[in-house]
Structure 1
Amino acid sequence: MSIHGVLTIARLELLQRVRGARWVVVLVAWVCVIAGVTGLSWLGLRKAGDEQLGSTVYDVVLFFVLGLGMLVMPALTSTSVNGDRDQGVLATLQTTLLSAADIVLGKLLAAWLIALAFLATALPFLLFGYVKGGVDLLGALRSLVVIVVVLAVVCALGLMFSTLTARPVGSAVLTYLTVAGLCFLTTIVFGMLAFLVSGEEERQVYGVDYATEGSVSDTQPRCTTRTEVRETVHTERIWPVLALNPFAIVADAAPQGDDEAEGMSGFTPLRWISQGARLAKAGPQETIDECWTGDAMPADSLTDGADDAGPVWPFGIAFLVLIGGGATAVAVQRTRTPVRRLPSGTRIA
């Protein structure tokens, strides 16, 4: 492998994509959708305080950027290798001094640069949320770095499937199914596994025992600690499943905002996902706090233990990097020459 070879393939890939008008249309549509989401978010929240407005707009825009990225990025590499093979281009490249690693990494670099271009067009809208206030600079930078890594892994998966299947349609379908599996199937599997790690256990409960304190209308009920049998779900045993979800990873790396000022109110999807992932990592609390003096549950009780559990995104990034590295290694192996066995109906040149 040589840096010159990788850059040569990347330059050829970029020139080939720039010639077509399809990506220009996609890029314009991408910008229009994100601009519309930003505008609607701002219009819907302009009556709120500046701090809440900025953090909420940033949260919503980043959520949609990631969602749109999961739809657009698989198309960058899912037909890269088998498409060149069908057109007779791959065989020409393989007869040069370029190695299989040069070809694969060059295509991956080109796709990643295009993904960064899409992300760069969304930066002004994210900057708008940051300027409005309430967004931590370190958290904003961290979320951007994490989303860049996630997009690179998605490109690597598409490149792998383009080397494993003979038809571009098949590789595109497999790539989208894999991305959908990471985004949705992980959540479904987590929910199904929750039934396997749940059961009735004796738990310490801190709250009002109305059996001894009297009716609910008591003016000053006293909270005591007692032992009760409660249904308990040990999510701390299965939380790594959620760490594979790109939305959980990016959400946990994104700025969390001022919980004291905002609580869990407003439409902040990434913050909800992050709190849920951290609560799953923390598992059931040692003591269930039910000492509520008002008519409703305090907002703090919804997120107890989430901060103590620590972040989830470092584990998720590690998992995705392993997946992306493995996908790239498979793609390199499948592109090596001489080819000992070709799928039926596959052309060489």
Structure 2
Amino acid sequence: MSWHGIRTVATLELQQRVRTSKWPIVLGVWVALIALVAFLSYWATNDEQLRAGEAMYDIVIFFVLGLAMLIVPSLTATSVNGDREHGVLATLQTTLLSHWDIALGKLAAAWLISMAFLVSAMPFMAWAWFEGGVSGGRIVLSLLVLVLVLAVVCTLGLMFSALTARPIASAVLTYLALGALVFGTTIGFALSAFLVTETEQQKVFGIPDNWWETHQPPAIDPADPTMTQDQLDELMKSSQPTRADCTTFTRETQVAHTERIWWMLPLNPFVVVADAAPSVPRERGNEYSSGFTPMRWISGGARMARNGPEDVVDECAMQTQMDSGGYVDPMESALKTAPVWPYGLVFLLLAGTGAAVVAGQRLRTPIRRLPNGTRIA
């Protein structure tokens, strides 16, 4: 394996795709779609009460990752078996190029093309940064994670292309593998939540269930001429529970122990990228000024699932925080805990490394056995 050999194969792959494919047209359509999504998200969130930058960034990077999961697999899913079908692979294998040169060269070419799609979307991410609500460090981190995720996607396609004899089979297997990562992990987590839900005694700090039975509001006659509005308000206020009425008690309830199954979520590429890209914390009392932020919700949901149920459910927290001048959203609290994206990124990198090893071994020569109907040259 040598850098010169990898660069040679990558250059041949790029030149072949530029000459024989319609990637410039696809890239133009890609930029048009990203621009349309960015302008629509800005128009929908351009309000004093909404932080347009945060919503724009979440929507754009969500859209970029979604489209990339559809387009990038096609770059490598037919790379090896397609060349074998056209008699090109055997010519490369008879040269001084090693099997690692061919495998890594094809992978590098596909990864560079995927980077072209990502770079074309960066001006719209910069626009979101100028609008505010997203830190520059988070943008850099999320882009680095997205680059690695796209490399893993390319590697999975290359592996299936080397394992199967027909391009259609490798393309289907690649999309099935990505579907298992994106949808399979989400569905598996949702279904497993029923298995870890138990009926148990849970500590609660709040208003006891029998409080209303012992604090019945007095009968009020609205037609009583001696009752003033201030007296009526004071009477109604005295019949409502306050922070002083909150006590710690035990209640039998259904508790979902998501801390046992949270590891399924970081296997999802969307969770990995989303958790690496939450926006800057909001100001106190301004928690609901973010609009539609899917990446933020995914990140907060994954961290809440890892934290699991609270030891003591504080049902009086909302009332106390409202009285003190601000309500702390549970998702905001979850976003301040440790991230989950490093676990998912390590898994994806291990899966990508294993796929690259399999693809390289399948390209080793001499070939002892080939599927029936597969041509060598």
TM-score by length of 2: 0.88
Q: Distance in 2 between matches of 1:23 and 1:251?
A: 28
Cα distance change, pair 107–81 in 1 and its aligned pair in 2 (3 A): same
Residue of structure 1 equivalent to 2:47: 47
8 Å CA contact retained: 1:264, 1:299: no
- Counterpart of 1:183, as a letter, is V
**Is 2:314 aligned against 1:293?**
no
Cα distance change, pair 215–278 in 1 and its aligned pair in 2 (3 A): farther
- Counterpart of 1:289, as a letter, is D
8 Å CA contact retained: 2:157, 2:174: yes
Instruction: Measure how far apart 1:164 and its partner are.
Output: 0.7
Instruction: Measure how far apart 1:258 and its partner are.
Output: 2.7
Three-state SS of the structure 1 residue aligned to 2:26 is: helix
**Is 2:110 aligned against 1:106?**
no
Instruction: Measure how far apart 1:339 and its partner are.
Output: 1.2
Q: Distance in 1 between matches of 2:370 and 2:241?
A: 79
Q: Deviations over 1:163-217 (max 9, x none)?
A: 0110000101111111111111100011111122110111111111141353596
Identity over aligned residues, as a percent? Answer: 54
8 Å CA contact retained: 2:197, 2:254: yes
Residue of structure 1 equivalent to 2:225: none
**Is 2:319 aligned against 1:320?**
no
Q: Distance in 2 between matches of 1:301 and 1:128?
A: 28
**Is 2:190 aligned against 1:167?**
no
1:224-303, aligned counterparts within 5 Å?
Answer: 224-260=247-283, 261-263=286-288, 266-291=291-316, 292-293=318-319, 300-303=328-331
Three-state SS of the structure 1 residue aligned to 2:369 is: coil
**Is 2:23 aligned against 1:23?**
yes
Q: Distance in 2 between matches of 1:143 and 1:18?
A: 29
- Counterpart of 1:105, as a letter, is L
Q: Deviations over 1:83-124 (max 9, x none)?
A: 000000100011111111110000000100111110000000
8 Å CA contact retained: 1:263, 1:300: no
Residue of structure 2 equivalent to 1:71: 70
8 Å CA contact retained: 2:278, 2:299: no
Q: Which runs of 4+ in 1 moved over 6 A?
A: none
Residue of structure 1 equivalent to 2:376: 348
Residue of structure 1 equivalent to 2:5: 5
Larger Rg: 2
Instruction: Measure how far apart 1:340 and its partner are.
Output: 1.4
Q: Distance in 1 between matches of 2:105 and 2:176?
A: 24
8 Å CA contact retained: 2:207, 2:241: no
Q: Distance in 2 between matches of 1:299 and 1:276?
A: 19
Instruction: Measure how far apart 1:257 and its partner are.
Output: 3.1
Q: Distance in 1 between matches of 2:329 and 2:141?
A: 27
**Which segments of 5 or more consecutive residues in structure 1 lack a partner in the other structure?**
none
Instruction: Measure how far apart 1:304 and its partner are.
Output: 6.7
Cα distance change, pair 111–35 in 1 and its aligned pair in 2 (3 A): same
Q: Distance in 1 between matches of 2:137 and 2:303?
A: 19
**Which segments of 5 or more consecutive residues in structure 2 lack a partner in the other structure?**
218-235
Three-state SS of the structure 1 residue aligned to 2:202 is: strand
Q: Distance in 2 between matches of 1:177 and 1:259?
A: 39
* Larger displacement relative to structure 2 (21-30 or 275-284): 21-30
Superposed CA RMSD in Å reads 1.9
8 Å CA contact retained: 1:282, 1:305: no
Q: Distance in 2 between matches of 1:156 and 1:293?
A: 52
Residue of structure 2 equivalent to 1:311: 339
- Counterpart of 1:327, as a letter, is A
> How many residue pairs end up in the alignment?
346
* Larger displacement relative to structure 2 (188-197 or 240-249): 188-197
- Counterpart of 1:279, as a letter, is M
8 Å CA contact retained: 2:54, 2:290: no
Instruction: Measure how far apart 1:47 and its partner are.
Output: 2.0
Cα distance change, pair 309–262 in 1 and its aligned pair in 2 (3 A): closer
TM-score by length of 1: 0.94
Q: Deviations over 1:209-251 (max 9, x none)?
A: 1413535963342221111112111111111111110110000
Residue of structure 2 equivalent to 1:119: 118
* Larger displacement relative to structure 2 (251-260 or 140-149): 251-260
Cα distance change, pair 299–147 in 1 and its aligned pair in 2 (3 A): farther
